[in-house]
Chains A and B, each alone.
Chain A
Amino acid sequence: MPALERIAKLYRGDEMARKVVDAIHAVARRIAEREGRDSLVKIMDFCGTHEWTITHFGLRSLMPSNVELVAGPGCPVCITPAYYVDVAIRLAMDGVKVFTYGDAYRLPGSARRGAGIRTLAEAKARGGDVEVVYSMLDAVRRARESGKESVFLAVGFETTTPATASPVVQGKIPVNMTIINVHRLTPPIARYVFENVPGIPLRGVIAPGHVSTITGAKAWRFIPEEYGIPTVVAGFEPLDVLLAILEILKQIFEGKPRLVNEYTRTVTWDGNLGAQRLMAECCDVVEAAWRGIGFVPDSGLVFKDKYRRVDALKQYGIPELTPEEWSYDLPPGCRCADVTLGKAKPTDCPMFMRACTPANPYGPCMVSMEGTCSVWARFGGAGLAEEIARDIGLEP
């Protein structure tokens, strides 16, 4: 596929990256000259894959001293409430076949370590019928083939929701299959961060590229308009992220916050209209729980009543989680919610790389490939490794 290879080459080229990094330093210096000593530009990414790009390619180590890149709520698995994991585990142990994406297979529910079944992986080890699938399409096919009573644990942001909605709306969910719908929406959690997380004067947002293929760049217009924060929809190559940072700094310097789409090769202003229609046809938008954070207005999706047949909670008579019932649902001591909201770094957690590692995760942010703790643990290269070592006191 020469065209795709050409794009990859174009966006990973050293020469252009060097130029952009130089420009970032030049603009950051001019901002610092104007603002003085205290000049600090915090830029938040809202996507686990952006955090991966930033960490994997060591982009933090290329930043000027007054520019800080902070990870935000970009990991749907990390914020899936323990309640729904517990429901899936219980069903698996009751003999129901449970399908899950690989990312949620080792996600802990509310049971403590060593006390009860914590994850779907453990449920499987104890005889539960749990199967990891690559896609909703595979889950549908496997449910049909097996003929067994089945449930799919559907997690994910806007990027993943249409995959769930498509067979539901097309009437393709087999009669022996239902779905636990834990889909969540990203613009409302971004708003939550701006409104509820004091102490981080965010001055730039790198908006999630793949969520935006579905929602369209327009979903982020409210950030510059209502909060005055420069916002750039970006792709996932290192150059994409660097260009987004440059654009944010340029807007700060010019004092003109606006929304720019850097990822024009894939993201349009209006987004994927077919996917948007499916989601609107399939689900209602409701106030919904985020793990360790609580209920966030208009941030979740539930099946419309006409699709109650595929709704696992309704079919098994399991109540929806309510704000009254919700209680803090992270494992004791885990700071995943603070990490998710940009209030803490993984290295601020005393368990990071001690009691909590990718091989033996304690909290949800260490489980998912896109959890900030997992990304930092696996790809702490180019400067980050030393920073982590210093932060956890390993350096001589």
Chain B
Amino acid sequence: MCLGVPAQVVELKEGGRIAVVDFGGGVLREVDASFTPVKVGDYVVVHAGTIIATVDPEEAVESIRTWNEIISMLKAEDPGEPGGQGA
């Protein structure tokens, strides 16, 4: 029920209340865009025929970078890791 499927907005209708989205592979669908402001080209999450959120592809990359740093820091702190600083 809470499944969300990523898609891209290809067209807006009825003053932006309805969006045509592309689920990939040419699968297009009209969905409710009335409560999530979107533009054509935006990546979105679609749930039960409504757009519930937008997806920020740059943030996805940035977030992985940050986690990589966190993991490196953890490794440096770990006394069990070779090269760790010891407890």
Contact = CB atoms under 8 A, between A and B. Distances in A.
Contacts of A19: 68, 71
B3 to A, nearest CB: 6
Contact of A27 (B4, B37, B67, B74): B74
Nearest to B30: A137
Interface stretch (A258-266, A301-309, A350-358): A258-266
Given A23-B71, A101-B1, A370-B3, A272 B48 contact: no
A128 interface: no
Contacts of A11: 60, 64
B66 to A, nearest CB: 9
A126 B65 CA distance: 57
Contact of A170 (B24, B34, B63): B34
Contacts of B54: 266
Contacts of A16: 64, 68
Interface stretch (A54-62, A155-163, A284-292, A313-321): A155-163
B48 A274 contact: no
Interface size class of B (residues with CB under 8 A): 35 or more
A230 interface: no
Interface in B17-67: 17, 22, 24, 30-32, 34-37, 43, 45, 47-50, 52-57, 59-64, 67
The binding surface of chain A is classed by DSSP as helix
A210 B52 contact: yes
B45 A26 contact: no
B1 A275 contact: no
B78 A26 contact: yes
Interface of B: 1-4, 6-8, 17, 22, 24, 30-32, 34-37, 43, 45, 47-50, 52-57, 59-64, 67-68, 70-71, 74-75, 78, 80-81
- Top 8 A-B residue pairs of the complex, sorted by shortest distance between their CB atoms: A135-B49, A274-B35, A213-B53, A3-B57, A265-B60, A163-B50, A265-B59, A7-B60
Given A160-B1, A265-B56, 8 more contacts: A6-B57, A29-B80, A47-B2, A163-B49, A210-B4, A210-B45, A213-B52, A272-B52
